[in-house]
Amino acid sequence: MHSEEVKIQWRNAGIALAGISMVILVAFFETVTTLVMTWWDKPEYNHCLLILPIIAYLVHERRDIFQKLAPNPSLLGLIPLLGGGFLWLLGDLADANVVRQFGLIILIQGCVLTILGLRVVLALLFPFFYMIFLIPFGDFLVPMLQDYTTWFILIILNMLNIPVFAQGVYLSIPAGDFHVAEACAGLRFLVATVALGTLMANIAYKTVGRQVIVVVLSFIVPVIANGFRASGIILIAHWSDMKYATGADHITFGWIFFAVVLLIFISIAMTFTNRGLHDGYIDFSKKYWSGTAATSVKKFILFSVIGVISVGIAPFYIVTIEQRYKTFENNSVVLDQNIWGQDASDNTDWKPYYRDASQTFFLQQGHLESEKIDIFMAYYKYQSQDTEMIRYGNGVVPSKIWGLISKRNVNAVITGLPGSVNEVLLQSGKQKRLVWYWYWVDEKIIANNYKAKLLDAKVKLTGGRLDSAIIALSIPVDNGDIEQKRELLANFATRLPLFETLVSTNK
């Protein structure tokens, strides 16, 4: 095929991709807006703003494909197109932004594969998959990173014979108290370094072995470095009698430390590069890359129509599901006070926060012989993007008053209840509270956040009750009686209709 014909096919493919891109921006405008605002607003994901320019650079580095390969639409693109749309649909039904965003990116990749064809995508394979770094995901790692950082600090302090008392992510040394907060977990540095390490592995190395080593190091180095950073801050505060590394200089020290670590990481990685400045990314002498087929304008139009229809399926289905919300619009919860307890909204300092709940209850059961148990319930008639039960900011830990000491899932063998339960231990000053909580979704009691999200998506897809609730029990504890309090909570939970019919509703 002549170069002029190849240019014409690329022009037609570009018009088709531009058209589908406009449809995606319109159909998924809210998801795209949320994605971009996350890049802008959350420091952990500011680096995502650079990913699109990096992808453009990677495509430019492979610009010879535009002369040697011609786009050829492929039905293989329907697999990621429909798969990404379905994933977006699940994310929207479960109100999970990261799932929506994964679905959106996979859907875009499906459009590229549909219009450009398999050979072009394989030639652009790395920039094609590097689009994954447009998705701001990694928040689920924060608790693990907090625990690791705390463990690392304890090792350093013990090696230096500095007395330390640890309770969860709270540390006390003779100089003062410290909290390994979410911001100290090192997620920001980790996700940015992994994105950088993956990029370096591709542009600086030709062999798979070295590429894998660099990517693995991009995971390991920031995690270890963050442990040293957090330990260094505590040591500086300790040796300076809390004069330094406790305020703004704490942040300054962290950034300087990470900048030095990143420079060292890049320097070491570039020492072993084996890709020359003029080395290409594709060996066009191989038979697979030879030969191009002419593609008519009609074929590009046909596949563009197929792409647009596939893109629109998930948003259209969402509209039909939203019609079901009206069925539950008049629901309300009626709780038997003899079972659940009396209103305690004015005399409790433990108030979980669940915004946009249809009804919120703060109760206290005072009929038990030994202890009063606080009960909290937030009821949702249905969950949508604006009224989401499991979301950032909602929780049983009132952050302004209480701090989280520990969190775990307690299985049925320990509690004696039919199912597992989420348990958190809170502290406010010298007071401590033990909290158990569950989710009620589709008339089932669930402890796992992700299972609750998936079940909510399932009932929206297949039918079932759209209303849901969070139920939490809390009791004050002392250091030595936590097992006794667990037994009290278990005994009280068995009296509640948790594992049968949780709520009665008026319609």
Does the pLDDT at position 283 exceed 50? Answer: yes
Q: Measure the CA–CA gap between 40 and 47, rounded to whole angstroms.
A: 9
Tens of pLDDT, residues 340-354: 888 887 777 888 999
Helix-strand-coil split of the chain, %, nearest 5 = 55, 15, 30
Does the pLDDT at position 28 exceed 90? Answer: yes
Return phi, psi of residue 353, to 5°: -120, 115
Question: Which range among 45-59, 63-77, 362-376 shows the weakest confidence by mean pLDDT?
Answer: 362-376
The helix (H) or strand (E) run that includes residue 187 is helix 187-204
Q: Say if residues 392 and 96 touch (Cβ distance below 8 Å).
A: no
pLDDT for the residue 250:
63
Q: Say if residues 304 and 460 touch (Cβ distance below 8 Å).
A: no
In terms of DSSP bridges, do strands 342-343 and 359-365 run parallel, antiparallel, or are they unpaired? antiparallel
Higher pLDDT, 129 or 171: 129
Does the pLDDT at position 492 exceed 70? Answer: yes
pLDDT (average), residues 472-500: 81
Domain boundaries, the chain: 3-134+299-322, 140-271, 329-505
Q: Measure the CA–CA gap between 180 and 441, rounded to whole angstroms.
A: 33
pLDDT (average), residues 485-504: 72
Contacting residues for 350 by C-beta, under 8 A, at least 6 apart? 374, 376, 398, 401, 402, 426, 433, 435, 474
| Percent of the residues in the chain that have a pLDDT greater than 70, as a whole number | 92
pLDDT (average), residues 38-65: 91
Q: What is the DSSP string of 82-145?
A: HHHHHHHHHHHHTT-HHHHHHHHHHHHHHHHHHHH-HHHHHHTHHHHHHGGGGS---GGGHHHH
- Mean of pLDDT over the chain: 84
For 424, the 3-state DSSP assignment is: strand
Q: Say if residues 308 and 28 touch (Cβ distance below 8 Å).
A: no
pLDDT for the residue 506:
47
Which residue in the block uniquely carries the two structure tokens 């597992």?
Answer: 420
In terms of DSSP bridges, do strands 373-380 and 359-365 run parallel, antiparallel, or are they unpaired? antiparallel
Query: At 249, is the pLDDT very low, low, confident or very high (cuts 50, 70, 90)?
Result: low
Longest CA–CA span in the chain (Å) reads 90
pLDDT for the residue 368:
52
Four-residue CA torsion sign, 185, 187, 192, 197 = positive
Query: At 48, is the pLDDT very low, low, confident or very high (cuts 50, 70, 90)?
Result: very high
Q: List the structure tokens of 304.
A: 């563009």
